[in-house]
Amino acid sequence: MGEDMKRQQASAAGGEGVGAGRAVDSAAQSTASTRESAAPPEAATQAAASAGQSESAQAEPPGGTAPPESAASRREWLSELEEQSKRRQQAFMDGIAAKLGRPRQLERPVQPRRGAPAFWREFQWSPEERAAKLREHFEAAGGKLAELPDLEAAGRFIAEQAREMKARRILRQDEAELARLGLEPALEPEGCEVRVWNEDGAGRESWLPRAAEADFGVVLADGAAAYTGSVCVRSAPHKGRSVSLLPTALFVVLPRERLATRLGELLLPLDEAGREAMPAGVHFISGPSRSADIENDLTIGVHGPGIVTILLIG
């Protein structure tokens, strides 16, 4: 019986605890409701207005109004939007000028000098120095240079390289000087195919795969700059740029009289010829293709020939 009394007391105490907790929660909710109802009407009005502005801002199209339906009205609407944008740009630039404490620069500044300075335009090396510097700079970038007396000797050099490297496909530009190399009679009897770019008139799309399959590409340089160690190769319908870009190895035939000192000597004729005469591709080749990733791991021959040799003729 004593135990029954204890259980009843404990049950009563637990009931009182739960009831007290519920009473506290109810009182808190009632207090919160009272505070909300006591909030000033201005605050509620501002909250409603803010919500309305947010909804209208989301629904409102750029420019403040929906685009008109008629074409003429739409042009006027777009013109007004453009003027608004210009006014905002002007205000932005005016603000920057004000912060810098100086007036805006509204006219192109006068350039006292244009192009290379006079002393650089007059700078020249002797023919011997040009050949030596071209070799030095080109070989420093991983290229090779061979000085040969004439085109026939250059043809024999390429044929020897083809035998040594077991080249099976050679592609050359359609140039009269390259025909004098004599590659066809020297190599075709040995099973090496020598093709001339676009010789069948099939066009670029047909010849791109052949250029990619070629072991050797043979091109005629349009010029070279000894100071940078670069040869210049222009593209044309009869001498596609793929001949110098896609084969595994590249041989550049460079007549000695086309070797200049400065790069500007090669660029000036292009500028003087005008845009209408500008070729589709003007390539300055300063050695084999060299590519490196962010860790500076150097790879040769990824984006172009991995072996590039200049044949300096004369």
Rounded (5°) CA angle 248-251-255: 165
Q: Where are the domains of the chain?
A: 125-313
- Could you report the per-residue pLDDT of 230-265, keeping only the tens digit for each? 999 999 989 999 999 999 999 999 999 999 999 999
pTM above 0.85, yes or no: no
CATH number for region 125-313 = 3.40.50.10420
Q: What integer pLDDT is reported at residue 48 of this predicted model?
A: 40
Which residue stretches of the chain have pLDDT < 50? 1-63
The predicted pLDDT at position 291 comes to: 86
With a CB cutoff of 8 Å and minimum separation 6, the contacts of 305 are 217, 244, 245, 247, 248, 249, 250, 288, 289
DSSP category for residue 220? E
Number of neighbouring beta carbons within 10 Å of residue 111: 7
Neighbouring C-alpha atoms within 13 Å toward the C-beta of 184: 6
Gyration radius of the chain's alpha carbons: 40
CB neighbours of residue 233 within 10 Å: 24
Alpha helices by DSSP H, listed for the chain, are: 2-37, 41-59, 71-100, 118-121, 127-140, 151-165, 176-179, 183-187, 204-213, 242-245, 264-273
Residues paired with residue 233 on neighbouring β-strands, in sequence order = 283
